[in-house]
Structure 1
Amino acid sequence: MKQQNYKNHRKFYPPHHFIYLPVLFVLEIFGLYKIGNDSQNQLIWILFSIVIFLLFYLAFMTRQHYALGLQNRMVVLEFRQRYFEIFNLRSDEMVEKLRFDQIAALRFAYDDEFKELLYKALHENISGDEIKRSIKNWRADQSRI
């Protein structure tokens, strides 16, 4: 494996970056051109351009969805690390018992409240929103987008 440096650190997904998006871009330009130059089929070209735009939009939103999924994974990993630091135990069983909204809400509690709220989440099945409302000393998370 090559050593990573500034020149080779970027990653591209060739089917997406070099085929799919350029083809959509060319098709959108072509559709917009045809709207202005084919008055007989103008409605068809408008619909064509709308469909191509929607495909662009879906490609962009899929990218956003992947980023959010990654953030969610990081929140769970943060929970696992914190659980281990507080209890000196593996968190596999806890993660299976909790819903994501509960795990995400627990990150706003400092360690003393974390223990109490974790117990309530496990035994009383309180929601993530209820966990957040129960926090007395809020631990801000400025990193999540």
Structure 2
Amino acid sequence: MERQNYKNHKKFYPPHHFIYLPVLIILEILGIYKVFNDSTNQLLWILFSIIIFLLFYLALMLRQHYALGLQNRLVRLEFKQRYFEIFGNRSDEVEEKLKFDQIAALRFAYDDEFKELLYKALHENISGDEIKKSIQNWRPDLHRI
């Protein structure tokens, strides 16, 4: 397996991203095409297009909402645990000063870089993307959903 880094850290779920969603997009395009080119069944194609759009919208929103909500909670919990292990203190005050993208980006840094990048995030307000780009020794997250 290739080592994880900034350029390859995103993950796709092939059945969802490369089969289900493309099929829905093709069906939606077909439905819209038929709405304008099949006047005898226009109402049927309008209904078809609305149903396909709702399935597409529901698939995107539910998948994103549940998975990202849970993942975000776990990322925050991981940050709290890691902060406590490194500094021996609770992270509540520090966590309140950080944006979520900064907390999420800090996961990819090993402990020595974590301290330095946390300081920069708190005092220089560098973004999560800047934190990721600053990491010299990338700590992979191979258990993402």
Q: Does the pair score TM above 0.5?
A: yes
Opposite residue 111 of structure 1, the aligned amino acid is: D
* Unaligned runs of at least 5 residues, structure 2: 1-30
Deviation sequence 1:58-90 (CA, Å, 0-9, x none): 222222122122111111111111011111111
Q: Which residue of 1 aligns with 2:44?
A: 45
Q: Deviations over 1:92-132 (max 9, x none)?
A: 11111101111111011111110111001000001111111
Report the structure number with the largest CA radius of gyration: 1
Distance 2:144 2:46 in 1: 38
**How far off its partner does 1:135 sit?**
1.2
Partner SS, residue 41 of structure 2: helix
Q: Which residue of 2 aligns with 1:59?
A: 58
Question: Aligned equivalents of 1:102 and 1:62: distance in 2?
Answer: 24
How far the C-alpha of 1:41 sits from its partner, in A, is: 4.8
State the match for 1:88 in structure 2: 88
If asked which structure has higher relative contact order (CA below 8 Å, sep 6+), I would say 2
1:40 & 1:120 partners in 2: Cα distance?
A: 62
* Paired AA for residue 124 in structure 1: E
Q: Who is 1:104 aligned against?
A: 104
Unaligned runs of 5+ in 1: 1-31
Hey, what does 1:144 align to over in structure 2?
A: 144
CA distance in 1, matches of 2:83, 2:69: 21
Q: What TM-score results when the alignment is normalised by the length of structure 2?
A: 0.69
TM superposition score normalised by structure 1:
0.69
Divergent runs of 4+, >4 A: none
Alpha-carbon distance in 1 for matches of 2:138, 2:57: 36
Q: Who is 1:24 aligned against?
A: none
1:90 aligned counterpart, secondary structure: coil
